[in-house]
């Protein structure tokens, strides 16, 4: 059987579904193939956080109050220092939903705008003619289907099933995600055993442990989430360390979930002839939180416009850039060096969570360093003050400044992403040199040393 579409998308997660929707609305013929059953997609994760303003920017009809999809809409978060006494309220506009309900609603929206899904249909291999992608083979109900298309989009999640099977020289890196390229996350949905007695509220972040309490749909319940690179074992150990210190009131575990989210630089190019990768398949996640959904939606808006123009012009899609994320990822290696005591000082002082005109601070809303010179100076003076008061070590502040310097360089380099493919190899060479300077950080928790590559 042969089917013809302008675009074939592999994967009906949040990335493939959203891009499929944008393309269908433009009148482009698109099919989204998904290996899982329709009602099973998205079941691996229950509750998930979206940045509220990004839902609006993406043009997605917001989830409605009173429906099981919506857990809640929140405006604030609390950052806790590792002493569990020093706290800081921050502004964080988040809409918290249940993923499978959201996807089921989106599938209907996409279909009503002309998009087509084929569930239980698994990508097998690409078809090439004259060394260029012209389609793919997939399998449904043990039958092999041939899809002929102008563009194949890999939205298959962390496995990147299409990207990782491209020929080595096709133009997009084919690496697979290893244990040091991901944040392993363990989630426990818990219920406080004595809800009549005080218990910690959700939307509490324990920054030093990369842990948080998040809201869920369970009455008097909360999600305890912890993420760490390397292995689930690392996460479990760090979670034990946290729980020993934090002394929560008694609770019962209702259910547990686990998963991993990419934590490495994305491929230098997301695009090659007749090919694009998006979502986790393209390693696009916010380096500070591991959130990937809304970041990809923003990328999809650009991609859909480019694809539309390209299909009209008989050309190929252009390459994308991730300057902000690259810079932030580099910056993290500086921040991760600080010790527990230093974090107590950083959270308690106004150095990293600075508020403007007495407002609650809203850190990194757009995930970029849009600071004025005055603000940068304030941070620098704050760090200097910390060193003088012996609250921060000169060694770690130096590491932070060095990482920040490198972050600035890498960001600038990504902003100068070559428009002409002829300059691409030279650009990559320079990027490699910068990434080589990124330092490994080893953080010593009470029961485990975790490596951040
Ligand atoms: C524990 C955890 C918590 C998270 N919390 C958040 C959060 O709060 N907010 C946030 O924004 N992000 C969060 N993330 C990250 C977020 O889940 C991902 O970034 C996002 O789901 C990626 O979407 P995607 O569509 O790229 O991939 P996926 O959602 O993984 O979808 C890929 C789809 O491709 C399908 N597929 C794979 N192989 C094939 C094949 N051969 N043929 C056909 N189909 C195939 C899969 O079945 C899957 O349905 C979290 C991640 C984890 C692990």
Closest CA to 8 of 236, 161, 202: 161
What is the bridge-based pairing of β-strands 441-444 and 221-229?
unpaired
Among 239, 261, 266, 281, residue to substitute to test ligand 1 (most atoms within 8 Å of Cβ): 261
Distance 187 CA to ligand 1 centre (A): 16
95 lines ligand 1 (CB under 6 A): no
pLDDT tens figures, 145-158: 999 999 999 999 99
Ligand 1 within 6 A of 92 CB? Answer: no
What is the Å distance from ligand 1's center to 284 Cα? 11
What ranges in 314-391 are assigned the alpha helix state H? 323-335, 340-348, 373-388
Q: What is the pLDDT of residue 49?
A: 94
Residue 397: pLDDT band (50, 70, 90) is confident
The whole-number pLDDT of residue 295 equals 85
Same fold, 2-74+92-177+265-320 and 180-262: no
Confidence of residue 376 (pLDDT cuts 50, 70, 90): low
pTM of structure: 0.90
Atom of ligand 1 nearest to the CA of 47: 8
Q: Which atom of ligand 1 is nearest to the CA of 122?
A: 42
Cβ–ligand 1 contact at 342 (below 6 Å): no
* Spatial separation of the C-alpha atoms in residues 141 and 33, rounded to whole Å: 13
Q: What is the pLDDT of residue 316?
A: 46
Q: Enter the tokens of residue 55.
A: 């839902």
Residue 356: band (very low, low, confident or very high) from pLDDT cuts 50, 70, 90: low
Q: How far is the CA of 124 from the centre of ligand 1 (A)?
A: 19
Termini Cα distance of the chain: 46
For the Cβ of 157 lying below 6 angstroms from any atom of ligand 1, the answer is yes
Q: At 355, is the pLDDT very low, low, confident or very high (cuts 50, 70, 90)?
A: low
The residue to mutate among 12, 13, 100, having the most atoms of ligand 1 within 8 angstroms of its beta carbon, is: 13
Whether the per-residue pLDDT at 104 is higher than 50: the answer is: yes
Q: Which of 5-19, 54-68, 276-290, 301-315 has the lowest mean pLDDT?
A: 301-315
CA–CA distance, 28 with 337 (Å, rounded to integer): 48
pLDDT (0 to 100) of residue 359: 65
Dump pLDDT digits (tens) for 317-342.
444 445 666 777 777 777 888 888 88
What DSSP string describes 176-212?
Answer: PP-GGGEEEEEEEEEEES-TTS----SSEEEGGGTEE
The answer for residues whose C-beta is within 8 angstroms of residue 319's C-beta and 6 or more apart is 269, 270, 271, 417, 418, 421, 424
236 vs 308, which has greater pLDDT?
Answer: 236
Cβ–ligand 1 distance for 117 under 6 Å, the answer: no
Residue 152 Cβ inside 6 Å of ligand 1? The answer reads no
Question: How far apart, in whole angstroms, are the C-alpha atoms of residue 225 and residue 205?
Answer: 9
Could you tell me the distance, in angstroms and rounded to a whole number, from the CA of residue 21 to the centre of ligand 1? 17
Q: How far apart are CA 442 and CA 434, in angstroms?
A: 20
Q: What is the pLDDT of residues 236-279, one digit of tens each?
A: 999 999 999 998 999 999 999 999 999 998 898 888 889 999 99
Relative to beta strand 30-33, strand 116-118 is parallel
User: Ligand 1 within 6 A of 11 CB?
Assistant: yes
Two structure tokens written together for 322: 């991730």
Ligand 1 pocket check for 34: Cβ under 6 Å: yes
Q: Is 279 in the pocket of ligand 1 (CB under 6 A)?
A: yes
Q: Which residues contact 365 (CB under 8 A, 6 or more apart)?
A: none
Scan for tokens 């403007």, then name that residue.
Answer: 356
Identify the CATH assignment for 180-262 out of 3.30.70, 3.40.50, 3.60.21, 2.20.200: 3.30.70
Tell me which of 9-13, 193-197, 287-291, 370-374 is least confident: 370-374
Better pLDDT: 102 or 333: 102
20 lines ligand 1 (CB under 6 A): no
Domain ranges in the chain are: 2-74+92-177+265-320, 180-262, 324-361+368-452
For the residues 39-56, what does the mean pLDDT come to?
93
Q: Ligand 1: which of 8, 9, 14 to mutate, most ligand atoms within 8 Å of CB?
A: 14
The per-residue pLDDT of the chain, averaged, comes to 89
> What tokens appear for 441 in the block?
């950080």
Q: Which whole number is the average pLDDT over 187-197?
A: 96
What percent of the chain has a predicted confidence (pLDDT) above 90?
62
Pocket test for ligand 1, best of 99, 258, 290 (most atoms within 8 A of CB): 290
State the Cα–Cα distance between residues 319 and 418, nearest whole angstrom. 9
Please report the pLDDT score of residue 321 as a whole number: 40
Nearest to 154, CA basis, from 314, 302, 313, 296: 296
CATH H-level superfamily of 2-74+92-177+265-320: FAD/NAD(P)-binding domain (3.50.50.60)
Range scoring the smallest mean pLDDT among 88-102, 146-160, 363-377: 363-377
The alpha carbon of 16 and the centre of ligand 1 are apart by a number of angstroms equal to: 10
155 Cβ closer than 6 Å to some ligand 1 atom: yes
Which backbone phi and psi does 253 adopt, to 5 degrees? Answer: -85, 120
Q: 158 C-alpha to center of ligand 1: Å? A: 7
Q: Is the CB of 35 under 6 A from ligand 1?
A: yes
- DSSP secondary structure letters along 203-261: SEEEGGGTEEEE--SSTTEEEEEEEEES-HHHHHHHHHHHHHHH-PPPEEEEEEEEEEE
Q: Return the top range by mean pLDDT from 40-44, 232-236, 432-436.
A: 232-236
């Amino acid at each position: 059987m042969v089917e013809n579409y302008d675009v074939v998308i592999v994967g009906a997660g949040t990335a493939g579904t959203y891009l499929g929707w944008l393309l269908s609305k433009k009148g482009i013929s698109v099919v989204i193939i998904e290996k899982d059953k329709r009602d099973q997609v998205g079941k691996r994760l229950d509750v998930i956080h979206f940045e509220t303003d990004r839902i609006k920017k993406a043009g997605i009809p917001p989830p409605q109050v009173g429906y099981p999809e919506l857990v809640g809409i929140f405006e604030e978060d609390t950052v806790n220092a590792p002493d569990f006494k020093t706290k800081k309220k921050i502004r964080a506009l988040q809409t918290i939903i249940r993923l499978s309900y959201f996807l089921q609603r989106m599938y209907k929206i996409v279909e009503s705008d002309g998009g087509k899904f084929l569930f239980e249909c698994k990508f097998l291999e690409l078809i090439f003619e004259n060394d260029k992608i012209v389609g793919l083979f997939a399998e449904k109900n043990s039958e092999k289907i041939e899809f002929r298309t102008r563009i194949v989009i890999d939205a298959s999640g962390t496995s990147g099933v299409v990207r990782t099977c491209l020929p080595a020289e096709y133009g997009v890196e084919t690496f697979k995600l290893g244990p040091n390229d991901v944040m392993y996350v363990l989630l426990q949905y818990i219920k406080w055993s004595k809800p009549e007695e005080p218990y910690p509220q959700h939307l509490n972040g324990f920054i030093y442990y990369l842990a948080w309490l998040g809201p869920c749909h369970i009455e008097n319940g909360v999600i305890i989430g912890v993420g760490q690179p390397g292995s689930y074992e690392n996460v479990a150990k760090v979670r034990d360390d946290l729980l020993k210190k934090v002394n929560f009131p008694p609770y019962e575990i209702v259910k547990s979930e686990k998963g991993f989210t990419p934590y490495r630089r994305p491929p230098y190019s997301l695009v090659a002839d007749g090919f694009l990768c998006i979502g986790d398949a393209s390693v696009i996640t916010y380096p500070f939180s591991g959130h990937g959904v809304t970041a990809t939606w923003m990328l999809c808006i650009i991609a859909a416009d480019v694809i539309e123009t390209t299909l009209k012009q008989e050309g190929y899609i252009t390459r994308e850039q991730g300057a902000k994320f690259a810079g932030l990822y580099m910056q993290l290696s500086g921040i991760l060096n600080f010790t527990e005591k230093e974090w107590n000082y950083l959270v308690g002082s106004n150095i990293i969570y600075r508020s403007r005109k007495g407002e609650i601070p809203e850190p990194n809303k757009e995930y970029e360093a849009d600071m004025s010179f005055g603000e940068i100076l304030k941070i620098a003076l704050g760090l200097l003050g910390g060193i003088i008061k012996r609250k921060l070590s000169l060694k770690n502040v130096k590491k932070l400044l060095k990482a920040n310097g490198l972050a600035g360089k890498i960001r600038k380099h990504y902003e100068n992403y070559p428009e002409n493919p002829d300059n691409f190899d030279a650009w990559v060479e320079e990027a490699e040199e910068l990434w080589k300077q990124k330092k490994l950080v080893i953080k010593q928790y009470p029961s485990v040393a975790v490596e951040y590559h």
